[in-house]
């Protein structure tokens, strides 16, 4: 095969001109929206509230590519920057929800269960991944992600001043700087067995770190804090689809987490959950009825929300779902 034919067969799905034009339009729209929506109270999430107003904007470029060296292989990559909104505005987006197949529609990257909602958080994401299909009907995929977020919020404190015998306490606000970073690696393996059976496994390893610093409080009173958490997630599944419309699925979910740099120590957790599903679907998926038994072993868990994870049932749960496509 000549070099010319190899270049013809190799394709790269990216248009820098169109991408830059789209980024410029979205950047201007996001710029106007963020300045408008973020012009509000400096501190509205924790008392005492502040009447000071703040404005924040940033340039948020986005770029991605999909490269297919052959019909069986694809490589993807993306880089994005975003600026969070103000409470309800965090759930409304003018920007694309994905770039090169990677999600970038984040309400927040710093877990709200840890820090609460923080208006005006900045997001920066890096993604790289690839997929490969084999003639044996085997599919593999590998993705790596780096997510970063920085934010500053006001935290209510009491300032004590000595005035005679009884000290006076005055409500005040200090700035709290938060820096979050999550690294993750995801591996997928799927196998088709004939026309009725499918097996699969998905493993994800994530490491999350949150650094906390108070601007106006001496380190002797409020030292800098750096918390870390590592989470392993494994999903094993078997799917059966019969040509008559009946189907069944069995899932085995395993999670294990460890925490570091917590005072006092924060214990981790490790557990398995088993889910079973069965149902029937009409031709062309016009309707589907699914009966599921979740958390078969009635296994509860305690995970640190510093690592994002899917919310799983904490008790044995019976589900019934009906879908109708008109």
Give the predicted TM-score (pTM) of the model.
0.80
Inform me whether the pLDDT recorded for 313 exceeds 70.
yes
Q: What is the pLDDT of residue 31?
A: 38
Q: What is the pLDDT of residue 176?
A: 86
Confidence band of 256 (pLDDT split at 50, 70, 90): very high
E strand or H helix that includes residue 6:
helix 3-9
Nearest to 306 by CA among 234, 233, 209: 209
Q: What is the pLDDT of residue 39?
A: 45
Q: What is the pLDDT of residue 60?
A: 83
Q: What is the pLDDT of residue 87?
A: 64
Report whether 274 contacts 255 (CB < 8 A): no
Residue-wise pLDDT for 223-239, tens only, equals 888 999 999 999 999 99
Confidence band of 248 (pLDDT split at 50, 70, 90): very high
Residue 232 sits at the vertex; the CA angle it makes with 192 and 81, to the nearest 5 degrees, is 90
Residue-wise pLDDT for 6-52, tens only, equals 333 333 333 333 333 333 334 433 333 333 344 445 555 666 666 66
Report whether 226 contacts 261 (CB < 8 A): yes
Q: Measured between alpha carbons, how far is 155 from 174 in angstroms, rounded to an integer?
A: 5
Mean pLDDT of 104-130: 86
Q: What is the mean pLDDT of the chain?
A: 82
Q: What is the pLDDT of residue 210?
A: 95
Nearest to 16 by CA among 65, 60, 59: 65
Q: What is the pLDDT of residue 93?
A: 63
Q: What is the pLDDT of residue 17?
A: 35
| Exposure b/e, 246-283, CB count within 10 A at least 16 = b | ebebebebebebebeeeeeebebeebebebebebebee
pLDDT, greater one: 214 or 202: 202
pLDDT, greater one: 301 or 39: 301
Q: Tell me the percentage of the chain whose pLDDT exceeds 90.
A: 51
Q: What is the pLDDT of residue 151?
A: 87
Q: What is the pLDDT of residue 48?
A: 63
Residue-wise pLDDT for 46-83, tens only, equals 666 666 666 777 788 899 999 999 999 999 999 998 88
126, 147, 205 from 183: Cα distances, Å: 10, 7, 8
Report whether 242 contacts 254 (CB < 8 A): no
Q: How many CA atoms lie within 13 A of 241 on its CB side?
A: 13
Q: What is the pLDDT of residue 119?
A: 78
Q: What is the pLDDT of residue 20?
A: 38
Query: Which of 44-58, 105-119, 197-211 has the weakest average pLDDT?
Result: 44-58
Mean pLDDT of 267-292: 94
């Amino acid at each position: 095969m000549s070099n010319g034919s190899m270049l013809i067969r190799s394709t790269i799905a990216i248009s820098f001109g169109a991408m830059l034009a789209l980024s410029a339009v979205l950047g201007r729209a996001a710029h106007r929206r963020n300045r408008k929506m973020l012009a509000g109270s400096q501190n509205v999430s924790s008392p005492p509230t502040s009447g000071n107003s703040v404005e924040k904007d940033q340039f948020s470029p986005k770029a991605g590519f999909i490269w297919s060296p052959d019909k069986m292989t694809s490589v993807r990559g993306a880089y994005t920057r975003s600026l969070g909104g103000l409470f309800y505005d965090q759930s409304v987006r003018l920007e694309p929800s994905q770039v090169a197949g990677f999600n970038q529609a984040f309400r927040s990257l710093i877990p709200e269960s840890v820090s609460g909602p923080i208006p005006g958080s900045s997001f920066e994401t890096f993604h790289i991944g690839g997929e490969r299909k084999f003639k044996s009907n085997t599919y593999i995929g590998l993705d790596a992600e780096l997510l970063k977020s920085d934010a500053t919020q006001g935290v209510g404190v009491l300032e004590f001043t000595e005035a005679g015998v009884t000290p006076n306490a005055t409500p005040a606000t200090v700035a709290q700087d938060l820096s979050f970073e999550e690294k993750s690696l995801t591996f997928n393996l799927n196998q088709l067995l004939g026309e009725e059976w499918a097996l699969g496994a998905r493993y994800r390893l994530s490491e999350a770190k949150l650094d906390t610093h108070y601007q106006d409080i001496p380190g002797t009173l409020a030292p800098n804090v750096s918390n870390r958490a590592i989470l392993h997630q494994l999903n094993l599944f078997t799917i059966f689809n019969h040509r008559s419309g009946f189907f069944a699925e069995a899932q085995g979910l395993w999670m294990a987490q460890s925490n570091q740099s917590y005072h006092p120590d924060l214990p981790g957790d490790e557990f398995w959950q088993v889910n079973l599903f069965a149902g029937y679907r009409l031709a062309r998926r016009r309707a589907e009825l699914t009966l599921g038994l979740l958390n078969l072993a009635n296994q509860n868990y305690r995970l640190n929300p510093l690592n994002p994870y899917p919310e799983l049932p904490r008790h044995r749960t019976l589900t019934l779902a009906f879908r109708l496509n008109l």
